[in-house]
Amino acid sequence: MDIFEALEKAIENEKAAHAYYRKCAEEAEDPQTRAIFETLAEDELRHQKVLKERLLAVKLRKQKSGL
């Protein structure tokens, strides 16, 4: 697995985690539990953003180096 595959897999994992936490939030019966799952879901969106930015940076670096 190269860096591109690893980052793409990590992004997919974050997407799956986000969907899971959103579902948990929707199914939560009490507001505190719902809020925790909503926060976790938001965290996964931030993780996705960071990973996408890193993937883009690696791709740009590869293009500049001509590899």
Q: Work out whether the CA dihedral 32, 38, 43, 46 comes out positive or negative.
A: negative
Nearest Cα neighbor of 56 from 14, 12, 7 is 7
Predicted confidence (pLDDT) at residue 1 exceeds the cutoff of 90: yes
How confident is the model at residue 65, as a pLDDT? 87
Q: Rounded mean pLDDT of 54-64?
A: 93
CATH classification (class only), 3-65: mainly alpha
Rounded to whole angstroms, how far apart are CA atoms 14 and 19? 9
pLDDT, tens only, 22-46: 999 999 999 999 999 999 999 999 9
Domain ranges of the chain: 3-65
Rounded to whole angstroms, how far apart are CA atoms 11 and 48? 5
pLDDT, tens only, 11-23: 999 999 999 999 9
> 65 vs 66, which has greater pLDDT?
65
Predicted confidence (pLDDT) at residue 51 exceeds the cutoff of 60: yes
